[in-house]
Chains A and B, each alone.
Chain A
Amino acid sequence: MSEGVRPQRVRVTAPRPGEPIAAPAEHPSIERSDTATVYVRSLIRSQLRLAIICASGFIVSLGMLWAVLAAAPALEAVVVAGAPVSWLLLAFGAYPAILAFAVIFVVASTRNEAGYRSLMSADPES
């Protein structure tokens, strides 16, 4: 990095009480009309709904894995690569579910935000 490109040195301190926590310049899209408030509230609701659905989905799948292991003690007797299948399922079976729900959430929440952006840009008075 050359000397000319380095940004001005800025002193950064903790926000004082009551001070907004994000710099307003970063967010030109808020604090406007009533329609904007409605849009943002509906964005928050849909993101929360999405997060709760993904969390419940994951917990249900984890619970099902455990229920299968508890309900089928015969799995303890099936040995693959020197270890019982039930141990191996619990050891490695949860990660695909974790990753699947994470991908679903990232894709869907980005889509929610894209929807919000297009609403905001379609509404010139906001």
Chain B
Amino acid sequence: MNPVLGYVAIAAVTIATALIGFFGLRISRTTQDFYVASRTVRPWWNASAIGGEYLSAASVLGIAGLILLQGAGGLWFPIGYTAGYLMLLLFVAAPLRRSGAYTIPDFTGARLESRLVRRLTTVLVILIGWFYIVPQLQGAALTIRITTGLPSWMGAAAVSIIVGLIVAAGGMRSITFVQAFQFWLKLTAIAVPAVLLLITVGRDGGPGVDPAVAFPAALGPASLDVYSTVSLVIALLLGTMGLPHVLVRFYTNPDGAAARRTTLIVLGLLSVFYIFPTVIGLLGRALAPELASPGEADALVLLLPGMVIGGMLGDVLTALVIAGAFGAFLSTSSGLVVSLAGVISQELAGGSVRGFRIAAIASSLVPLAVALVLEPGGLAGSVGLVFAFTASTLCPVLVLGIWWRGLTARGAVAGMLGGGLFCGAAILLGPLLAAAGGWPAWLQAALAQPAAWTVPLAFALTVVVSRLDRRRAPRGADRVLARLHAPEAAA
């Protein structure tokens, strides 16, 4: 691949992102602007920003790669990513907006009137955020290596430095503009090549490959393992609502009803977006089976336009997808860094702007260190495990905190610790057992996709311990629940 394309595309995205970020900085003046954009962002802006932030390396590169690699199993990922927002709409969107809290630890700490719960939630949010940034940086490393031929670490380092600087300089207000821009960039970057690929292939009278070879029944929808699929879907459905960068975005809606409208628009945007990586993944099965190896499959979206179309147009399309992919790493990482910096600075620095800036730099450098040490896995797969962990820790405390008066601080701690320990152990032990071999298949499956048992376990622990601890239910629970669910007075 011509490295000039890569340099031009990456430089253009970075400059555009920085310009919008610094332009937005001139509007953002107060501490509220810094943290949650003064809660005055309009639903369409906000929905684009949410989409821009949510569509990560796993969505832009990982889904097509996984469809190429695993067949129909990969089709469940975009369904789960989108349906996760449906669950968020149903169970948490409006109440969380009405809570008036800035971060997840603010919410859980105030709802349960407990410092311990607040601390534990803070630790979990930071862990989840860091481990979610790592695959973004690995995606950046892959993109830099494939497109420019530079060593992998430069991509990861570039993204984390750019993100740290932009977030520290601009805060949430400018990030909202940046993210909205990134959504439309990503949609264009993947939709235009996908449509042109379809047209090219259609004009040439189809891919000229036997469908039974490109789409073998052994990898088809009917062949999928029931346990693994169900477990994956549980993780993706329930993991979304606990992701720190997703939640903080809801606080920028003016009221609960606007939070719901925003989520509805997000669902529309995501449903449209995911058509295109799916199309490229399916085309890749027919046109580029030689890329179907674990290290290379994630590069399918970057390589396919050049392979099929070629010439000037092929070059332009390649530059476009590189820009979109790089935008994905920038936007998801910056969303995560904003929410992490908010949480860390509130916990340690009393919520000052200076604390936020220092925390932003720290939150972008720690994952960089992890990304440089860890062996890169498949993008969609590693993000899937973060969803499983979030679903097993933050999802129960959020959902029960919003809907159940009987939740107690001890119940919440038991659920978060239990779910976190078991899910974390499964994530760490799974690859070890698989490598050692000789263990029963059901155990390996249970560790590879833990959500199906760790999420119910976390919910059960939370409920049982809360029931045993009934007398310590927070006295203010009724009042808080009323606040979460009663519509705001008409303005």
Contacts and interface: CB of A to CB of B under 8 A. Distances in A.
Nearest to A51: B90
Contacts of B75: 87, 90-91
A101 B87 CA distance: 10
Interface stretch (B1-9, B27-35, B166-174, B374-382): B27-35
Contact of B485 (A43, A95, A103, A117): A43
Interface in A33-54: 37, 40, 43-44, 47-48, 51, 54
A14 B260 contact: no
A10 B257 contact: no
B403 interface: yes
Contact of B113 (A17, A58, A106): A17
Contacts of B206: 82
A30 B86 contact: no
A64 to B, nearest CB: 13
B83 A87 contact: no
Nearest to A117: B487
B480 A21 contact: yes
Secondary structure call for the B interface:
helix
A20 B83 CA distance: 32
Contact of B87 (A23, A31, A55): A55
A2 interface: no
A94 B237 CA distance: 13
Given A91-B278, A106-B89, A17 B109 contact: yes
Given A44-B485, A83-B282, A98-B82, A15 B403 contact: no
Contacts of A30: 479, 482-483, 486
Given A40-B486, A62-B79, A95-B82, A87 B91 contact: no
A113 B278 CA distance: 38
A29 B486 contact: yes
A4 B278 CA distance: 51
A60 interface: no
Nearest to B351: A13
Contact of A31 (B100, B110, B482): B482
B479 A21 contact: no
Interface of B: 27, 29-32, 35, 72, 75-76, 79, 82-83, 86-87, 89-91, 94, 98-103, 106-107, 109-111, 113-115, 118, 201, 206-207, 209, 211, 214-215, 217, 220-222, 229, 233, 257, 260-261, 263-264, 267-268, 271, 274-275, 278, 282, 286, 346-347, 350-351, 403, 476, 478-483, 485-490
Nearest to A48: B403
A34 B286 CA distance: 66
Given A12-B35, A73-B222, A102-B263, A20 B110 contact: yes
Contact of A54 (B31, B90, B115): B90
A51 B403 CA distance: 11
Nearest to A121: B490
B79 A106 contact: no
A76 B110 contact: no
A98 B113 CA distance: 36
Contacts of A29: 486-487, 489
Max count, chain A CB within 10 A of own CB: residue among B35, B79, B286 = B79
Given A55-B90, A84-B211, A90-B221, A106 B483 contact: no
Given A29-B486, A98-B267, A101-B86, A20 B286 contact: no
B100 A21 contact: yes
A99 B271 contact: yes
Nearest to A50: B90
A87 B220 contact: yes
Given A14-B346, A17-B118, A105 B90 contact: yes
Contacts of A15: 101, 106, 109-110
Given A18-B110, A21-B480, A94-B83, 17 more contacts: A9-B29, A10-B31, A15-B106, A17-B118, A21-B101, A30-B482, A51-B90, A73-B222, A82-B206, A83-B211, A87-B221, A98-B79, A98-B83, A98-B271, A110-B257, A116-B486, A117-B487
A26 B488 CA distance: 7
Nearest to A110: B257
A124 B490 CA distance: 16
24 contacts: A10-B31, A12-B102, A14-B102, A14-B346, A15-B109, A20-B480, A21-B480, A27-B489, A29-B486, A30-B483, A55-B86, A62-B79, A70-B222, A82-B206, A82-B211, A82-B286, A87-B220, A90-B75, A92-B275, A92-B278, A94-B79, A95-B275, A98-B82, A105-B260
Given A55-B90, A82-B207, A102-B86, A10 B220 contact: no
Contacts of A91: 75, 278, 282
Interface in A47-81: 47-48, 51, 54-55, 58, 62, 66, 69-70, 73, 76, 79
